[in-house]
Amino acid sequence: EVQLVESGGGLVKPGGSLRLSCATSGFTFSSYSMNWVRQAPGKGLQWVSSISSGTSYIYYADSVKGRFTISRDNAKNSLYLQMNNLRAEDTAVYYCARGYGYKNLWGQGTLVTVSS
Amino acid sequence: EIVLTQSPGTLSLSPGERATLSCRASQSVSSNYLAWYQQKPGQAPRLLIYGASSRATGIPDRFSGSGSGTDFTLTISRLEPEDFAVYYCQQYGSSSPYTFGQGTKLEIK
């Protein structure tokens, strides 16, 4: 079955860190660009970061640049997001999504709550 | 950065009616690289349309996309009960960031 499964979310204090993971299966992970997209409670979708299939190209939204790091392990078919210096405004469901332009496969999301 | 503005914010219609959702870009979207997604409460978004008018795999033909340049439209020809959801457009024609619109909520009248 083709799927993306996120994990690693939780409650963290402002200034803290968290590492999200996205385990993939059912397709050739190493052939696809991957992304993190987030959605704050009751709000719309916000692109966070993208990484190309061979990690040559990495992009970040301005709001997370310098604090978040996207990475992937093609041998483990997994995508990661290291989030440091977290802020209250980073509270959101974080989705892993496949695709360079349009995102044709999404995980179910993992909730990150930043609160003291 | 290209800003996408969706209208209306909320659309109230009845099953069987036709829905027309708009997505306007602040500058031309190159190669009509515009996608539409559907999101139901508690679920992840689902790709409906890419390249402005191509339906994704498994999407019913009552969903259609059109438009070019800065003006794009998602049309649902005859609403089914399961179509009531929030719809987002996204452009991927420019370099990063690939921005999303703010969404249109399609609710049952």
Q: Does residue B97 register a pLDDT over 80?
A: no
- Looking at the complex, does the CB of residue B97 fall below 8 Å from at least one CB of chain A? yes
Q: Does residue B94 register a pLDDT over 80?
A: no
The span from the CA of B53 to the CA of A37, in Å, is 23
Mean pLDDT of B11-29: 96
- Looking at the complex, does the CB of residue B2 fall below 8 Å from at least one CB of chain A? no
B92 exposure class (CB count in 10 Å sphere: 0-12, 13-18, 19+): buried
Could you tell me the pLDDT band of residue A110, with boundaries at 50, 70 and 90? very high
- Looking at the complex, does the CB of residue A41 fall below 8 Å from at least one CB of chain B? no
Per CB-CB distance under 8 Å, the chain B contacts of A101 are 33, 35, 50, 92, 98
Q: Does residue B95 register a pLDDT over 90?
A: no
Report chain B's mean pLDDT, rounded to a whole number. Answer: 95
Q: Does residue B93 register a pLDDT over 90?
A: no
Return the pLDDT at B98.
Answer: 84
Q: Which residue has the tokens 């993306």?
A: A4
Q: Which residues contact B69 (CB under 8 A, 6 or more apart)?
A: B25, B28, B29, B32
From residue A62, alpha-carbon distances to A36, A59, A75, A83, A88 in Å are 14, 9, 30, 14, 16
Q: Does residue B96 register a pLDDT over 70?
A: no
Record: contact A101-B103, CB cut-off 8 A: no
Largest CA distance in chain A: 40
Record: contact B92-A101, CB cut-off 8 A: yes
Report chain A's mean pLDDT, rounded to a whole number. Answer: 96
Per CB-CB distance under 8 Å, the chain B contacts of A61 are 97
H/E segment holding residue A51: strand A45-51
Test the B interface: residue of A4, A63, A95, A103 with most B CBs within 10 Å: A103
Which chain A residue has the Cα nearest residue B87? A44
Record: contact A47-B45, CB cut-off 8 A: no
Evaluate the omega torsion of the peptide bond into residue B8 and state whether it is cis, within 30 degrees of 0: yes
Mean pLDDT of B11-16: 97
User: Which stretches does DSSP call E strand in chain B?
Assistant: 4-7, 10-13, 19-25, 34-39, 46-50, 54-55, 63-68, 71-76, 86-91, 104-108
Per CB-CB distance under 8 Å, the chain B contacts of A107 are 44
Give the nearest partner residue to A45 out of B45, B50, B92, using CB atoms.
B45
Residue B4: beta bridge partners? B25
Per CB-CB distance under 8 Å, the chain A contacts of B45 are 37, 45, 95, 103, 106
